Structure 1
Amino acid sequence: MSTAAGRADESPSSAVFVPPHERDDQVRMRRAHTAAARTFEVTATGPGVWGWQGRTLGRRAGQWWLRLVCAPQDKRNLRLWEGTATAHRALPAVVPRPRLHDVLEWSACGHAYRAELSEYVPLPALESGGPVLTADPELPSTWWADLRRALEATAAVVTDRQAVRQRWVDRNLTRFLGIPAFQVDAWTTGHGDLHWANLTGPPLVILDWESWGRLPVGFDIGLLHAYSLTRPATAARIRHEFAHVLDTPSGRTGELVALAQLLQVAGRGGHPTLAPHLARRAEYLTGTPVPAP
């Protein structure tokens, strides 16, 4: 979960999309972002938008979106670190997304930095304050058809990147859903972080591809559905548009993994208004009450 490339009119109002806690880290990130802009010979003029727990900072720079990622030099998650670039190379043109233009990496004082210069998308995200849906979007049937087409095209991409791992399921499913862990028997390639702050429309553009890779069938759309549970009309629309996925045994498996991951986030204090909806949906699918966090 991070600041998406090329996103317009964002607001960092979610409890998880906030600046780093320490003032010195905020200053350091802003200085690094300015240094990257100078190297790319662009001028960042838009408001700063922080990503997941302050690990990224993005700003508009003319026709570009300049996104900075930072991690301790010895603790980089290479899958996330290289996700935007690998998605740029691997995904077909039919998948609507900001195109990556240039990348810059450097290290200083124990921190690793990666700056990505991508197309700026002059469209607001469908949810500006975070991933949870707060109002029903009025989306035409063509938008839903475009989303289906994009996810189907992504599913056809061959990759060894793993967005969700079987060992996470083995370790955590019982803890968060109260059911025995199961073997995922149907895998596909997907976005890995499909939520309303990563979607625009119409027209559809899918933002933030750093988490993409192999995941259980049904995970992506199960995640989007879970983030919509506070808005029953939109959740019902998703179940209708993607019944061919969610109403299958493999699709239900992927949805359960998505619910378990979000219940893990909720157990750490994230998305408090969503948590009871997640628990009810999980109990509906499994017939088992969700364990207390």
Structure 2
Amino acid sequence: MGNKKKMTVLDFQKYKDEGRKFSFVTAYDYTTASIVNESDCEIILVGDSLGMIMLGYNTTVPVTVDDMIHHIRPVVKGAPDTFIIGDMPFGSYNVSKEQAIETANRITKETLCDCVKLEGGANMAPTIRAMVDAGINVMGHIGMTPQTATSFGGFKVQGGTPESARKLIEDAKALEAAGVFAMVVECVPSVVAKAMQEEVHVPILGIGAGPYVDCQVLVTQDLLGMYGDFKPKFVKHFANIRAEMIKGLNLFHEETLSGAFPTPEYSFNKAVEIPSVYGPGNN
């Protein structure tokens, strides 16, 4: 590595126009961010998925703006050559346009991430337009939207009927008109994402949206086989890091019990003369 050049907001459209694919993963801490920064992946999302991955919730809903800022800051430090997206959590933008602008301002100012992302289709378009007019770089997110998943029966493929597919495409067009520079499309049939590509000009970043999109998105802990609680259909394990970590931990445990670790190689071996506890003349 060493020659990685950080993407800009304008590069998203440039890459799409040139037909150049790109990839997008997650990170929630400095160490993971630094590893992604050494990879060829261009984008990191610090997602509110940290609710499940890092905080152990079974939904993203409890995640706060403070939680997001706490996790985005070290990622920005760890990945200076990677484009960083900060997620806006549930309840931080659905009260009013003013609330959305204030939240986005705070996340951007306190973390120095490159843009914010929020969920919602045509219903959120006026809010997004107000944010863009306020000078904020906004990425959209439609399809399966985890923050409001319970309202449509949990984690399900979206756009599976002609009517819902058409509505998704209209949502995408509304986000484009509102000024997003790109949008995440989650859990939709490949054919719907393809139709969206044909009607929308801004880049489509797909997670579980098939091959006809500009960018593929996966959670790092999912694609590396680290997260054991849940594996969606669209997740491919490109490595099995969880098993390797357990293997390493068990080997450390075994060598601790047997005395095989630490050997002199992993010990400080300087000879030190230690005075008697009794001192001279005492018995």
Q: TM-score range by the shorter chain?
A: under 0.3
The two structures have a TM-score, normalised by structure 2, of 0.24
**Over alpha carbons, which structure has the higher Rg?**
2
The two structures have a TM-score, normalised by structure 1, of 0.23
